[in-house]
Amino acid sequence: MFIDVLSFGSVFDEEMHANHWSMLGGIRYSNILPNLSLTLEYIRNNPLVYKNDILTTQFNSNWYTLGHYLGDNAQEIYGSLDYRPWNTLLIQFRYSLAQKGPDYPYTRERDPVTGISPVLGKQFMERMEWQQQLIGLRARYQVINDLFVFVECEMTDTGGNEQKYTPPFYHGNPTTFSFGLNMGF
């Protein structure tokens, strides 16, 4: 859990809360059947977490966020089934649903009429601006100690503001194939 701002006095007040936090929770259950594991994760990033109007206190480096890749006001559900028919072969099926709500600017200037700060009371996922579903299948084989080869296929279905939140290479719901090798990890 990452806590940027947490106001206990107004935690349940929908109009005055300042709960800028991010949370990841997950569970893994191994050997459902022999050599089969299930992983489930949920990520929630409340509005304005990782943001600040003071540049030196933002949670980033060279304008790249050090928090979650979706940024604030977002959520992701992830699940995978991992099967090991042999100790050197891993077959993984995974699913991910990522959703992004509206971006809010972080400013401390209070409303001149109400006197309320605009960083207070932001609703989580008030509306959805972007969504991406990913289905993937990956096979990884350990050739020798610390040398792996892999092949992977991923299908994505993206909706919403694709221009703002999706790299141009991934526009149009592509299916991507990958293969390679890695050593040491």
Confidence category of residue 130, pLDDT binned at 50, 70, 90? very high
Torsion sign over Cα 169, 49, 126, 108: negative
Torsion sign over Cα 55, 61, 64, 70: negative
Which whole number is the average pLDDT over 82-86? 96
Contact 79, 92 (CB under 8 A): no
pTM: 0.81
Confidence category of residue 16, pLDDT binned at 50, 70, 90? low
**In which domain, by residue range, is 128 found?**
2-183
Per residue in 90-127, pLDDT (tens digit) is 999 999 999 999 888 777 666 666 656 666 667 788 88
What is the spatial distance between Cα 39 and Cα 24, in angstroms, rounded to a whole number?
13
Which pLDDT value is given to residue 180?
A: 96
Which whole number is the average pLDDT over 71-87? 94
From residue 74, alpha-carbon distances to 7, 15, 25, 82, 118 in Å are 20, 19, 14, 26, 19
Count up the domains in the chain and report the number. Answer: 1
**What letter represents residue 26's amino acid?**
G
Contact 85, 39 (CB under 8 A): no
Which pLDDT value is given to residue 157?
A: 93
Q: Over 90: is that where the pLDDT of 141 sits?
A: yes
What is the spatial distance between Cα 117 and Cα 153, in angstroms, rounded to a whole number?
47
Domain of residue 21, CATH code? 2.40.160
Q: Over 90: is that where the pLDDT of 143 sits?
A: yes
Which pLDDT value is given to residue 12?
A: 63
